[in-house]
Amino acid sequence: VESENTLLRIEGLTKTFGSFTAVDGVDLSVPDGELHSIIGPNGAGKTTLFNMIAGSLRPTAGTIHFRGTDITAVDQDERARRGVSRAFQITQLFPGVTVHENLRLAAQADNQRFNPLATRNPDHDERARGMLDDLDVDARPDEVAANLSHGDKKKLEIGMALVSEPTLLLLDEPTSGVAEAELPALLEFLTDAVTDLTVLLIEHDVDLVLELSDRITVLDRGEVIARGDPEDIVANERVQNAYMGG
C-alpha cells in the first residue's frame, strides 16, 4: 500500500550490461523526510542503481516515480529541475574560483549546469553567503576552492548541491577520501544539512550509515537482500553473510 507521503517510488528497476544483470528488479519506496541508505558489498549494484535514479543511466526495465509522476524517461537535467539533485563531485568544482563564487554559481546553476553568463541574482548571492556560514569551512570566502582541505572540498560539494534547494538529495560516498581527523566536522555538517531533506545515501562506512539512516536497503548481486532500520540490518544474518562474502 502506497503511503501519501512517498517521494520516490521505484518498481522492478533493472539494468543489464550485455548478458550481465547489475541491478535486478529492485523495489524501493522513500517517504518524504527519510534518510535512506543503500549499502552492499563491492559490485552489488549501488552505483548503477544510483545512476538510474539520478537519470544518468537508462534502466533496462522498471519504473521510477517522483512525487507520483513517472520520471523513468525524464532526463537528468529535467530531474534536477524537478528537485532530484546529486551532490556535485569535487571534479565539478571550479578550483581557481573562490568558495563563495562556487556556491553562488551552484545556486544560480540551471539544473547543475554552471552558466557564468547568467544574470547576477541577489537571492543567489544571499543563499551562497548563508551556505558559507553553514559550511564553516576553514577558509575565507575569497579563498580559491583549490586551496581547501579534502574534507572542506567535500563539504563544499554538498553545500553546492544544497544551495540548489533539492527535494531529494542523492549523496554518493560523501566521506570518501576524507581524513580521519576531518570526519567529525564533516559528519556534524552532514547531519545538520540533511535534517529537513529526503536523502538517498551510498556510503561504504557502515558505522556512519548506521548512525545517520532512518532505513537501509542492502543490495547483493543486484538484488535487495534486506531492508529495515539500522537495528534490523545489524541483526540480519543475510547481511552479515553478504559482507563476509558468503
Q: Does 217 bind ligand ADP (CB under 6 A)?
A: no
The answer to whether 219 and 44 are in contact (CB under 8 A) is yes
The answer to whether 67 and 9 are in contact (CB under 8 A) is no
Q: How far is the CB of 57 from ligand ADP (least distance, A)?
A: 8
Which of residues 41 and 83 has its CB atom nearest to ligand ADP in the complex?
41
Host H or E run for residue 104: helix 99-108
Helix, strand, coil shares, percent, the chain, to 5: 40, 25, 35
What are the residues facing 20 on neighbouring strands?
17
Q: Does 174 bind ligand ADP (CB under 6 A)?
A: no
115 alpha-carbon distance from chain centroid: 23
Q: How far is the CB of 37 from ligand ADP (least distance, A)?
A: 13
Q: Does 155 bind ligand ADP (CB under 6 A)?
A: no
Which of residues 99 and 242 has its CB atom nearest to ligand ADP in the complex?
242
Q: Does 109 bind ligand ADP (CB under 6 A)?
A: no
One-letter amino acid of 152: D
Q: Does 42 bind ligand ADP (CB under 6 A)?
A: yes
Q: Does 22 bind ligand ADP (CB under 6 A)?
A: yes
> DSSP code of 91?
G
Q: How far is the CB of 161 from ligand ADP (least distance, A)?
A: 19
Q: Does 116 bind ligand ADP (CB under 6 A)?
A: no
What are the residues facing 224 on neighbouring strands?
219
With CB under 6 A as the contact rule, the residue among 12, 27, 43, 229 that binds ligand ADP is: 43
How many residues of this chain interact with ligand ADP, rule: CB under 6 A? Answer: 11
Q: Does 158 bind ligand ADP (CB under 6 A)?
A: no
- Radius of gyration of the chain from its Cα atoms, rounded to whole angstroms: 18
Three cell numbers, residue 113: 549546469
Residues near ligand ADP, by CB under 6 A? 17, 20, 22, 40, 42-48
